[in-house]
Amino acid sequence: MDILSNLKPAKGANKISKRVGRGQGSGHGGTSTRGMNGQLSRSGSKKKAWFEGGQMPLQRRIPKRGFTNIFKVKYLAVNLSTLQSLIDKKKIEDLNVNPVSLFKAGVISKANAPFKILGTGEISAKLNVEAYACSESAKQKIEAAGGTIKLING
């Protein structure tokens, strides 16, 4: 019968840890399971994952290529289908789409973040759009619905 004073873990559930470096009688004395001399037998020794034993490492053997243009403008993509869903939910007032209205609607993260209108989806509302950039297909669909598009120079 199991009572609190008789409880013990199931057989094989507990593993006895090695008592390393506690003398020859422990069976793990002397070199403390680290083998013979060398870098890895010393305390505090760690090899970096990319260390190749002193050989010239791969990331230094391969030449550098290209560069990152720090002046590149990264546009946030806003599709026409997104604009149509905002109009259906009445999150855009007066059918004026500009950075402030999209920020209030939660589409872009900052009121001055550059965004580009893309032509995925359909639009039925007559929108007045102010955007930093616009694709040709989006421009055609907005103008076909009777709207206007104005590009912001930013």
Tens-place pLDDT, residues 89-129: 988 878 899 999 999 999 999 988 999 999 999 999 899 99
Cα-to-chain-centroid distance, residue 60:
27
Tens-place pLDDT, residues 22-33: 999 999 999 999
For range 70-87, the mean pLDDT: 93
Residue 57 lies in a domain: no
Domain range spanning residue 88?
Answer: 76-151
Residue 20 lies in a domain: no
Position 72 confidence tier, pLDDT thresholds 50, 70, 90? very high
Residue 2 lies in a domain: no
Please give the pLDDT value at position 153.
84
47/39 Cα distance (integer angstroms): 9
Please give the pLDDT value at position 1.
65
pLDDT above 70 (res 13): yes
0.75 exceeded by pTM: no
Residue 121 lies in a domain: yes
Based on the structure, what is the number of domains in the chain?
Answer: 1
Position 43 confidence tier, pLDDT thresholds 50, 70, 90? confident
Residue 66 lies in a domain: no
Please give the pLDDT value at position 48.
86
- CATH code, domain carrying 142: 3.100.10.10
Please give the pLDDT value at position 47.
84
9/113 Cα distance (integer angstroms): 60
Residue 129 lies in a domain: yes
Please give the pLDDT value at position 44.
87
Residue 116 lies in a domain: yes
For range 14-29, the mean pLDDT: 91
Handedness of CA 154, 120, 148, 97 (dihedral sign): negative
Residue 88 lies in a domain: yes
User: Among 101, 133, 103, which Cα is nearest to 116's?
Assistant: 133
